[in-house]
Each structure stands twice: as structure tokens, then as C-alpha cells.
Amino acid sequence: MNLHFPESEIFQWAEKYKKDNIQPYETECELIALKPKVEQRGYLDKDELRCVARWKSPRRSGDIDKNDDNYVKEITSWAFAATDERSRIEVLTLLDGIGWPTASAILHLFHKDLYPILDDRALWSVGAGAVKLSKKCSFSFWWCYVRFCRDVACRNQVDMRTLDRALWQYSKSKQ
């Protein structure tokens, strides 16, 4: 993986995201505001899960209703408490309506560790977008992407949300 734009432009692209995507940005801010409550409780409830799914993957979000409330609580509790990286991401995909992209968004928004969001746009911005995301989801691919993004974020002293916005916006502007 290789960033398609100079790392010095991360803040510029992230700011453009905020200006060009008002509605998704407002929804994102509402989700981010839930983090302290979710962290303290240790799980997502079904309504919170539905909100994340609608923001990340609206077409699949209707399937969230197939999950029992207690099942959502148990699965998200497990993901947030897991010490194994593979367990954290893959257990979330057991929930109806949650694929790798939305599972990554859940970890991105609510886990104490730093995680990027799997997204075709963001992946294009790092040279990993030639094949559609649905065809390459695996733990090894995701973990490689996580480590790459953590390195870029650390090197540039930016939070993961800023980097994610920049990656998404750069692709939208160039494709």
C-alpha cells in the first residue's frame, strides 16, 4: 500500500471532506458523540448499531432488525473486550447486516484502539482499490490495512478519523 497523495496534505483533504459532505459529516458527529456512553457500557445497543449501519452501508442496514437485542449486546461486548485482533473484527460479521466495512466502522468509532474504516474509496487512495472490497475481505487484508493506516497516522500525528476522511475525500475528488 502506498498513499496516492503527499502525507502533508492529510489535513487539507480531511477538511475538504467536512465541507463537501455536510449530511454524512453531521451523522458522523452524532455517532462520535456516542463513544463515551458506548465505552462505559461496553457494547452497542440495537438502535446504535442501526445508526452505524445506516451511515456506513445504507443498503444493508435493514438487516439489522433481524438481530435480537441481546445478541447485538453480546456480540458487540465480545468485540470490544477481545484481545485478539481477528476476534474483534470477525465476531462483528456474525451480526445480520454487518459485513467487513461496517464492522470496521464499529471498531473505528467505538473501540479504544485505532482502526481505519474499510471502504472502496479509502482503499483506492492507498493503491489497494483495483479489486472491489467485497472480493478481498479477509483478516490478513484488513490487518495489513490497519497497520498501514496506523503507521501513517502516527508518523503524521493525526487521529484515525482525520486520516480516514482524507483518504475518502481524496478518492472522491480524483475518481
C-alpha cell at position 151:
503507521
Under DSSP, is residue 60 helix (H, G, I), strand (E, B) or coil?
coil
Q: Which domain covers residue 65, as residue numbers?
A: 7-174
- Spatial distance between the Cα atoms of 4 and 6, rounded to a whole number of angstroms: 7
CB 155 within 8 A of CB 7: yes
Per-residue confidence in pLDDT tens, the chain, 175 aa = 999 999 999 999 999 999 999 888 999 999 999 999 999 999 999 999 999 999 998 887 889 999 999 999 999 999 999 999 999 999 999 999 999 999 999 999 999 999 999 999 999 999 987 556 656 689 999 999 999 999 999 999 999 999 999 999 999 999 7
| 135 located within any domain | yes
Q: How many domains does the chain have?
A: 1
| 137 located within any domain | yes
| 1 located within any domain | no
| 47 located within any domain | yes
| 59 located within any domain | yes
| 24 located within any domain | yes
